Structure formats: C-alpha cells, structure tokens
Chain A
Amino acid sequence: MSKHMTGAEMVVEALKDQGVDTIFGYPGGSVLPIYDALFQQETVNHVLVRHEQGAAHAAEGYARSTGKVGVLLVTSGPGATNAITGLTDALLDSIPLVCLTGQVPTHLIGSDAFQECDTVGITRHCTKHNYLVRTIEDLPRILHEAFYVARSGRPGPVVVDLPKDVQFALGLYQGPLNIQHKTYQPRLKGDIDRIREAVAMMAKAKRPVFYTGGGVINSGPQASKLLRELVALTGFPITSTLMGLGAYPASGDNWLGMLGMHGTYEANHTMHDCDLMIAVGSRFDDRITGRLDAFSPGSKKIHIDIDPSSINKTVKVDLGIVGDCGHVLEDMINVWRSEGHKANEEALDGWWKQIDHWRARQSLAYRASTTAIKPQYAIQRLYELTKDRDTYITTEVGQHQMWAAQHYHFDEPNRWMTSGGLGTMGYGLPAAIGTQMAHPESLVIDIAGEASILMNMQEMSTAVQYGLPVKIFILNNEYMGMVRQWQELLHGGRYSQSYSSALPDFVKLAEAYGGHGIRCSDPADLDRAILEMIDYPGPVIFDCRVSKEENCFPMIPSGKAHNEMILAELSDDAGVEIGSIIDEKGKMLV
C-alpha cells in the first residue's frame, strides 16, 4: 500500500483508492504534472469541460445522481476563481465535492506570481473545509481526509490546493485505510431517549405532517425507504422541500406536493395548521417558512438533522434530534413498532378531510390554451412522455425550475438535480453532463430557461465531445421569467433589463455545436417534438416557445405566511392587483 511516487501520481492514486471513476476539469500551467499522471493511466476518466464553473456543476450532478463524491480538477488563479460559484452552490445544497486546484510553487506563494490567487483564503467561506498542501509528507493524508470530510456528516465541498513543487516532489504514498481524523467525527445515531419522546409525540398528534428535505436524499437510498415505511406506518401526510423531491414518491398516497414559496396550497396550509411538524433533513429555509413569526404558529416541532447548527437556527423547535436521517428514521420505526404505538386514526381522518378540502382548490391548475404552449403544459407532457423511462432531470434557475418541481413528479431519490440554496442560473446543463457521465444509458434532461441556458451554453461542446445525449428542454418565453414576474408584482410592471433580447437561433446553435435542434410553438405538435427529442441519439437543444407572460403560481408573496398564498385564479380575475398584496416590508425581501 505504501509506495514511493511523485505528488501528482499520489493525486491519481488517491482518486483510484477513493473509488473515483470520473473527474471533471480543465488543464493549466500549475496542474500539468497531474494531467501528465492522468495521461498515463486508464482507471480515472477525465471529462474536459469548457469553463471551470461547468466542472463544478458537472461534479455536483455526478454526486447528486450517484450519492458519491464529485471531483473536479482546475488550475490555479482563474481556474480556481471560476470554480467558486459551483463550490458555493455545493456548500448551500450540501453536495459532497472534492476540488483539486493547482497552485504556484510554495516559494512563489504570496509574490503575486502568474496565475496566483489566495485559493484557500478565497474558498474558506464557500467550502466545508480546505487545505493548502505545503509538503509532500502531508499530501496522502490530506487527500484522503478531503474525501472523508466531503462525504461525512453534512456533506459539502472541500478544496485541496496543490502547489506545483509538491506535485513534482517524491514521497511515500499511503492508502486511505491508515487515515483517521482527529477532530471531525459527526454523530450518526440519534439520542434514543429523544427518539422515544418524538415517537410518543407522533402517537398523540392529531394534525401531524412530515416536512422532509435534501438531508434524506444525502443520507442515501436506505433513508428514503425508511421514510416511506414510517409514513405508511403512521398514515401521516408528507411534504418536501425542493431539494428533497423523490425521497417520498410523488405517486404515494400521503404526498401533498412540494411546500414553500411555490408549493401547493394543501402543503402550505397543512404546515400552517398542523399540531405536530416532523422536520427530517430540512432546514427551515426562508423559501419554506415565509413570514417567520407566522410560521406554523400552533405546532410542536421535531427537527432531525445531522448538523447541530441547523436545529434552532431560524425556527425554535421543541425537540431536536442530532443524527443521520437514515439512522434516526430506523430507530423511530423500531420504537413505534416495539412500543406498540398507533396513530390517532379518528383525528387523522378529520385531518385528511381538511387536507382534501385544501387539495380541492387545485392550486397547480392553469388556464389551458390551444394556440400557445403553456409552460406548465410543456412540463406535463414532458413528464407523461418520459415517466416510464429511466429519466434524470436537472434544471436551471427560475420559473421553469419551479414549474418543473410542480409538474414533473419524482418517485425515486437522486433523480432530480437542481440548484436550491444558491439559485445558480447555468447549473442545469453541466449538471446534466455530470449526471449523464454517471448514467450513460439513461435519459438526462435539463429543463431550462432561455436566459439561464446561455450562462453555461459552452458546455454543449463538452456534451458533443463525449457523445453525451443530454436533452436541453428550453421553456423559451423571451424573458428572465422570474425576474419579470417579480417586476410585475412588485415594481409596477417596469421590466427593467429582464427581456431576453438578441437571442440566438437555438436550432442553428445546436447544429453549430454538432448537436440536433428542435423548435416547437404549437401545442398540437408538442408530443411529436418531445418524442423526436427523446429518440435522437445525441445531444438536443429543444426550443420550446411558450406563452410569454405566464406567472408561476401558487405563490406565497414575500413576507407573508403559509395561509396567505395567492393562487392563479386570483391573479387572472380582473381587478385584483397582486402588487397591492405585498406590503413595503415584503418588498425588501427577496
């Protein structure tokens, strides 16, 4: 296991020992020794992106669709700074990444050398942890530690900054088995007394709800299975954040749909009126809670999270359980069964009746059209035509992302890759590339907007180079739709800079890259066009021309509570000024 080799060879050896089969990167002066070592082996596959931000999002897509650590390799200076957005995105969404950055030789650090930047200084705030490797002796330990830190506890991005002289230096390599971390040992098992207390609260609850998040997905497929089991056992309703979609199947009996700013009427009202909230791997983000002092005012709250700092951060809870969702859910099921608990059936019946009443509002409904493609309709058709296939969905950020979350239904975890916390436009195409690399036989679709897609359009070239048949499904309304919607609601319809002018011809653009382009503006032709996209054996850009001024509803207006949602029907009826619903305080929020 211990062998003499150069630092660059150690990097590649450590990747192999960590089970890495694919990395995403872009070469440059200060990572040339590592690229040389990569050249001389065949175990680790390297995907050449067209911009380092793409490498980071591709690694995120790879990580999120597989549950493994995503790896990117970039050069010093601009290579590292270009990756920052992706690292921050991974930090906010708790995605395990290891980012290897080149650095100028140690004796030049601090001299403003060519392509030098203070990578560990810059990335300190947007990584879970980072390292500058100063000597070859430290290198093997740090490489393995980086993987350990990235995937353990609450996952996140880790940067390893590698000065060029360390890459050339000779040293003794050691495998991962000899590494044990001194300080970082996150707690996996929840406190059993607290779990008992939680289960007792659940048995007594009359109006309970599960509110689950990305933590369930991060915990692994077993956690999703256990969640389904616990929901079936208790009969409680369940809603999820954007990041948690798929942990509980959208086709499941107890599913309320997504909650939050663009969540369903029934999910948000259930949260507002519940008497017991069981938060599992979710973090009470402001998109979820709306107005905090009116957030679920009458409920007891249980919060299960692997990160102690998530508990009581924004919402005070009655019972916090620190631990991995999977372990805690397993213990909850065992306690529920062994103590012979039963849910309060009578109360639950009444609760479900109330929920059905909310559901009857059909908050995702929209006015259909035979002349124009409604964006919601486009997602619905995409779902119907792909649901029986082995499909992975990524998105960019904006209206199309929310419509995808509302109208595309996920029955399995790890099938939905979206930028939740940071809201990074340009995420979807590189994430689709990373996902497709991990699942070469699957159908991978980036649901995009025409503005977002242009932010990392260059990665189409990567897709073509590696023959990755990703499908870019653009809901083209010629606006930055979400910006336009907010300008309509908050700024008197003054559409400042939110119109997508001088758009490229997406069909010709696809062809210019060596892919296939499809355009569709007729609802009657949409199914045929989507099938053409699915059947094409290479990358496709689908320019779906949708109605231009459609708004994304339902919506909790800024600064309002869960039970103050506005629905599409309200906005369509003449005489109701939605802007007037949002007060001055609300306008200050995002």
Chain B
Amino acid sequence: MNAIAALSPYSSAIGKSNVERHTLSVLVDNEPGVLARVVGLFSGRGYNIESLTVAEVAHGEHLSRITIVTTGTPEVIEQITHQLERIVPIHKVTDLSMQAKVIERELAMIKVQGTGDHRSEALRLSEAFKAKVIDATIESFIFELTGSPGKIDDFVELMRPIGLVEVSRTGVAAITRGAQGM
C-alpha cells in the first residue's frame, strides 16, 4: 500500500524500516457499529491488522474489550493509538507492548488427518505441546491448543507434514501482569 506514498515527498521517509509489532487493548462501549468504526479506521488510514479479537467483558456496563495486534513504525503506532482515542464510544486505548510485562494467549483448533505412524506422531507431539484432543475419529484428530501465537505457529508447522487439514484460531487476547488494570 505504500508504493506511492514511499516515493512521495509529502510523506515522511524517516524510519520506514523499523517496523514493530504492537498489541493494543481497546475498551469500548458495546454499541452497534463500534467494531466497524475501529476496523474502518484501520482500512481508511492504511494501517495493518494482524489479529483482532473482541468480546463483551462487563455485561452490566456494556463494555467490550478489543485486542488488536498491529505493525508499524513507532510513529505509526502512536498515530494509531491517538486515532483510536478519537472514536467517540472508545473509553481507553492501551498499548500493551509499551507495558513492562504483557501476557498474550491465543486458542487454536487444529484438525489433523492420518493413520499409522502419522497418527501416533501427531499424538506424541500434541502431548509435548500440551494440546488437548477434543475430537477423534479413526483417521483424524482435532487438537485444542492455547499459548502464545508463536507456540501455535510452531505446532501448526509440525502438523503440516503429518497431515494438517485446517486451523481455526481466535486471535490474540492480552493482559498485563501484576495487580494493575489497563
């Protein structure tokens, strides 16, 4: 998307290379259209979304928490944060990657098919990764695995030669360590 912008003397050429991955936590009023506002902001201004999760976290107060994993230079990440803060029903935006310690978890369901050695190898690896078997047939397994996105990537790559059929991932949920809230 930056093919033209990169050539443009009107755009900042500074720091194009130092792209970072950041996890943003966004607390919003759970009202119609709020997710469209967030997603529309990212598409309209040309920001990246690597993953996005959303669910209501306080039913009584109608609050939802959106976790967005995005990439960009520090300048772009700062812009994204401020642009999100402009959206009227957003309560708070926290760049978790700027916090000292953040825990990121993702859940994946991984369908693997195979018989014989492939089948036992899949099962052995799943134990090493502490994945749960949540469905099994004579010729397939579905594993449930929770962990960091990297751990899930690793497990999926191991399953690929064994007989990976498909993967369904939730995207990242994240929270900071310690007693403090966002």
A residues adjacent to B (C-beta < 8 A): 120-121, 124-125, 128-129, 132, 134, 149, 154, 182-184, 286, 289-294, 307-309, 311-314, 316, 559-560, 585-586, 588-589
Contact = CB atoms under 8 A, between A and B. Distances in A.
B10 A289 contact: yes
Contacts of B82: 307-309, 311
Contacts of B88: 128-129, 149, 183-184
Nearest to B88: A129
Interface in B1-50: 4, 7-14, 29, 32-33, 36-37, 40, 44
B44 A312 contact: no
Contact of A309 (B10, B33, B40, B79): B79
A182 B75 CA distance: 29
B110 interface: no
A128 B88 CA distance: 8
Interface of B: 4, 7-14, 29, 32-33, 36-37, 40, 44, 75, 78-79, 82-83, 85-86, 88-91
Contact of B40 (A125, A129, A149): A125
A316 B10 contact: no
Contact of A312 (B10, B78, B85, B91): B78
Contacts of B9: 290-294, 559-560, 585-586, 589
A183 B86 contact: no
B10 A286 contact: yes
A183 B85 CA distance: 10
A293 to B, nearest CB: 6
A293 B89 CA distance: 36
Contacts of A311: 82
B135 to A, nearest CB: 36
12 contacts: A128-B86, A182-B91, A183-B88, A291-B9, A291-B10, A292-B10, A293-B12, A307-B86, A316-B14, A316-B75, A559-B10, A560-B9
Contacts of B85: 308-309
A124 B37 contact: yes
Contacts of B89: 183
A134 B4 CA distance: 43
Nearest to A184: B88
Contacts, number: 72
Contacts of B10: 286, 289, 291-292, 559, 589
A307 B81 CA distance: 12
A127 B85 CA distance: 15
A311 B83 CA distance: 11
Contacts of A560: 9
B4 A588 contact: yes
Given A293-B14, A308-B82, A309-B86, A589 B36 contact: no
Given A183-B90, A559-B9, A120 B33 contact: yes
Contact of B79 (A132, A134, A292, A312): A312
Contacts of A586: 9
Nearest to B61: A182
Nearest to A311: B82
Given A292-B11, A293-B12, A586-B9, A312 B36 contact: no
A120 B33 CA distance: 9
| Residue with the highest number of chain A CB atoms closer than 10 Å, among B4, B85, B90 | B85
Nearest to B31: A131
Contacts of A309: 79, 82-83, 85-86
Nearest to B90: A183
A308 B88 CA distance: 14
A294 B12 CA distance: 10
Contacts of B86: 128, 154, 307, 309
Contacts of A128: 86, 88
A226 to B, nearest CB: 26
A124 B10 CA distance: 27
Contacts of A314: 12
A585 B91 contact: no
A128 B86 CA distance: 8
A183 B91 contact: yes
Given A121-B36, A182-B29, A293-B13, A312 B75 contact: yes
Contacts of A129: 88
A192 to B, nearest CB: 21
Nearest to A559: B9
B9 to A, nearest CB: 4
Contacts of B33: 120-121, 124, 132
A240 B75 CA distance: 26
